[in-house]
Amino acid sequence: MDIILVERMRNLVQAINTSNGQNLKLKRPFILAAIMMAMFMNAIEGTIVSTAMPAIVSDLGGFSLYSWVFSGYLLMNAVTVLIYGKLSDIVGRKPVLLFGIIVFLIGSVLCGFADSMTELIFYRFLQGFGAGAVAPVASTIVGDIYKNEERARIQGYLSSVWGISAVMGPALGGLIVESLSWRLVFWINIPLGLLSFVGIWMFLHENIEKKKRDIDYIGAALLTLSISTLMVVLVQGGVKWSWASTPAISLVGIAVVSFVLFIVQEKRASEPMMPFEIWKERSILIANLVSLTTGVMMIGLSSFLPTFVQGVMERSPTVAGFTLTAMSIGWPIASVFAGRLLLKIGFKATSLLGGVSLILGSVILVLMKPEAGPLIAAMGSFFVGVGMGLTSTSFIVVIQKTVSWERRGIATASNMFMRNLGNTVGAALLGGVMNTRLQAYLNEHAAVESKVTIDTANKLLDSEERAMLPKDVVEVLQEGLTTSLHTIYLIVLLFAVISLVTLTRLKKREKRTE
């Protein structure tokens, strides 16, 4: 009798599990659609704002704060992504993702009402605080509801969202700026965010055993302090402060000490924000290091390529936007092929192809002349996008193969954290380099016009104001901007070389864990 009862109970459990699996398969298309809308909302924010930045700076002023519009957003994104990843492993993916969407939408609304560059930067901090949850948790959900052999294909779909948003983003950004108001670029993604929220709320259901576990807030605070102080030095150093000045040296000291304390804290924390043991896997370590370097490259293009096309080549915001679109077209195309290449030639070979493409695109940008035209700029942007697509898709798939469910959230988040960290440090580093080089060039040519400053470049980005400037002033500003941005592209090329060299250290076969 007992044997019969046990057998019936086993059959009942199997029936329930089968039913749950069938229900999940029925809901997966709706869940994926909601995730893709959230990813689209997040992705379009980068390209559309980059395209609109010249108009925003022209209206609000503060060219020297240019990079902080990106740095503020990326700083909060980089710091919170690990916390969100850890939380998603504890309380589930759904509540974390919904919270992130709501905060992101609030920040977007406020950005559109900004009346000064300072206000805009503050609201971008809030926007980035919400955005930190979107990409890592959405990608983790894909890892949860799809099997290994399906993930490469689905990651290709998610990458196509980035491509579509990037094609539409610059075009919409250019049209909105030229026809309406730059403020609308922050509001255009609100309907998508609301639809994504409703879809995830209705169709994503999780059975998570909720445990009371500690969140490493001390680690998060130390990391925030370290990155933010370093960014201030990189942005202000060489412009408002001398590199050897007391404020610069003091902030560098704070950044170093707080980072060392962060490492100590992570080693002793019961629930570390960054569990370093997952980095012992070589594939994860190299994937994260290369994500850091490619993050610097990506922000170098998206932040400063439109400035070159508009300010130096004297093209419209729409044309400048399409040069960025080329990168985002190459990215999803490469991601789709990456899914197939991973099965045919393996993780290492696919990643190395991406590294070669990164170098090719960077070389084109380094050799680009002002008279070359936007087509050359788009070509370099395209090959960088191909490199990003091949490497990023490979990294996400292999990381989710390597770790178990209990660490899938934090492992996915760690990779995106490194890319965001690259974006954050890159925005500050490259912004500081541009300010320093431009200021030095203007100092050398101070005899042309004593009142020419870095902020005078605001007028260079607006065709009407540029026409009102004396010809010799325009020439000095354009030559200074060309010199500054050429230095930035050389740094981008350096990071591309570092990426390829690091990728050669990959093993041909990766560990798999389910």
In a domain? residue 259: yes
In a domain? residue 142: yes
CA distance linking residue 290 with residue 384, whole number of Å: 14
CATH number of the domain to which 85 belongs: 1.20.1250.20
**Based on the domain organization, do 243 and 279 belong to the same domain?**
no
Structural domain span for residue 233: 217-268
The neighbour count for residue 98, using CB atoms within 10 Å, is: 18
Reported as a pLDDT band with limits 50, 70 and 90, residue 125 is confident
**Based on the domain organization, do 251 and 396 belong to the same domain?**
no
In a domain? residue 329: yes
Count of the separate structural domains present in the chain: 2
In a domain? residue 509: no
pLDDT digit string, tens, across residues 423-435 = 767 877 787 787 7
In a domain? residue 92: yes
**Based on the domain organization, do 238 and 366 belong to the same domain?**
no
Residue 327 · residue 452 · CB < 8 Å = no
**Based on the domain organization, do 144 and 239 belong to the same domain?**
no
pLDDT value, residue 11? 47
- In the block, tokens 């293009």 appear at 301
Residue 330 · residue 386 · CB < 8 Å = yes
pLDDT value, residue 307? 75
**Based on the domain organization, do 190 and 233 belong to the same domain?**
no
CA distances from 67 to 62, 267, 292, 433, 458 (A): 10, 33, 18, 11, 13
pLDDT value, residue 358? 93
**Based on the domain organization, do 150 and 263 belong to the same domain?**
no
Rounded mean pLDDT of the chain?
Answer: 77
pLDDT value, residue 235? 59
In a domain? residue 252: yes
**Based on the domain organization, do 222 and 284 belong to the same domain?**
no
Quote the percentage of the chain above a pLDDT of 70: 78
Last residue of a domain, one of 235, 252, 268: 268
- 0.95 exceeded by the pTM? no
pLDDT digit string, tens, across residues 295-345 = 888 888 877 887 778 777 777 776 777 787 788 788 878 887 887 787 788
**Range with the largest mean pLDDT of 69-73, 99-103, 190-194:** 99-103
CA distance linking residue 214 with residue 373, whole number of Å: 55
CA distance linking residue 456 with residue 475, whole number of Å: 13
CA triple 274-417-43, angle to 5 deg: 150
Residue 291 · residue 418 · CB < 8 Å = yes
**Based on the domain organization, do 199 and 238 belong to the same domain?**
no
pLDDT digit string, tens, across residues 441-491 = 777 766 544 566 666 666 665 566 666 666 767 777 777 777 788 888 899
In a domain? residue 365: yes
The neighbour count for residue 224, using CB atoms within 10 Å, is: 17
CA distance linking residue 489 with residue 99, whole number of Å: 37
**Based on the domain organization, do 334 and 434 belong to the same domain?**
yes
**Based on the domain organization, do 169 and 229 belong to the same domain?**
no
Q: At 216, is the secondary structure helix, strand, or coil?
A: coil
- In the block, tokens 């199997």 appear at 14
